[in-house]
Amino acid sequence: MPLIKAGNINLHYETYGEGEPLLLIMGFGMSGDAWIPSLPFLSGFKCIYFDNRGTGLSDKPDGIYTVEAMADDASNLMRALGIAKAKVFGVSMGGMIAQELTLRHPEQVAKVVLGCTMAGGPTVKMAAPEVLDKLMTGSKTMATDPEKGFDILLPLLIPAEFAAEHPEIRAIMVAGAKMMPPTPPETADRAMLGVAQFNAYDRLPQIKCPVLIVHGDKDVLVLPENSSLIKSKIPQAELYMIAGAGHAFQAIDPVGIHQKIADWLRN
């Protein structure tokens, strides 16, 4: 992964494929390499994926990792790479970053996919406290014991019945996690403080570019009601609710789901 100065921070990024630029923004506690399973399904795009601050091989500064700061990181990365405008696909916390990027730097975003995310603010539908506790515990455990960490996180990502029918999915996810640089435990605390402060809800009507909202109807980490809240504030947005899918919505039908998203991005 090349390292580049993006504003006042060094970010590690990678590119894959050829075509119009597609910026991929990963979620909570994961390095950009978590996009690798999706890349073969996004043909026709030059995919740019990167490590958010605090993850992977990017800088890990002190302080709260606000969504606004991470959106500016993404904007500065595009500028540093000479990309004037791109299509954007963000998942979970990456979807929050994508919202903020589109609001703060609308001239840089042609279309945006908001996957399994929320808009924050007083109307937000939060996961149960025990779910958020498991997210923090599992994320921190991943740094030293990926297998144990995924045993904590997997029920938050995949519906239990789907995981039981596809036991291989745990092995695939653990193998992938072991190939990524570990995320320091303190990143979880810094990023969660930023997520807690995030509030784009009242500003969402300012988004004028095409928007696709994607969510699994069995998501226990970011509740699916949040997708309807986002849609209510962005009338032109399309909502793609995936039956039977959890937070890791792509897992239930990787080919079909990615094809629908890629077709929407192309058209």
Is the torsion defined by CA of 252, 253, 259, 260 positive or negative? negative
**Domain 3-124+191-266, CATH:** 3.40.50.1820
Q: pTM here? A: 0.97
Strand partners, 238: 212
Of 9 and 168, more confident: 9
Average pLDDT, the chain: 95
| Close Cβ partners of 267 (under 8 Å, ≥ 6 residues apart) | none
The mean pLDDT value for 165-171 works out to 87
The mean pLDDT value for 187-192 works out to 96
For residue 103, give the H/E element and its range: helix 93-104
Say what the pLDDT of residue 1 is.
Answer: 55
pLDDT in tens, 22-56: 999 999 999 999 999 999 999 999 999 999 999 99
CB 3 within 8 Å of CB 10: yes
The mean pLDDT value for 182-193 works out to 95
- Least confident range from 13-17, 86-90, 110-114, 149-153: namely 149-153
CB 229 within 8 Å of CB 201: yes
Q: 44 in the Ramachandran plot: left (φ > 0), alpha (ψ -120 to 50) or beta?
A: left
Say what the pLDDT of residue 185 is.
Answer: 94
The mean pLDDT value for 164-174 works out to 86
Q: Tokens 């403080």 sit at which residue?
A: 193
Where along the chain do its domains lie?
A: 3-124+191-266
The mean pLDDT value for 190-206 works out to 97
Q: Which amino acid is at 249?
A: F
pLDDT at 219 over 80: yes
* Contacts of range 135-143, beta carbons closer than 8 Å, 24 or more positions apart: 135/28, 135/221, 136/188, 136/189, 136/192, 139/28, 139/29, 139/183, 139/185, 139/188, 140/185, 140/188, 142/29, 142/177, 142/182, 142/183, 143/182, 143/183, 143/184, 143/185
Of 77 and 182, more confident: 77
**Distance (Å, whole) CA 178 – CA 206:** 40
**Distance (Å, whole) CA 46 – CA 30:** 21
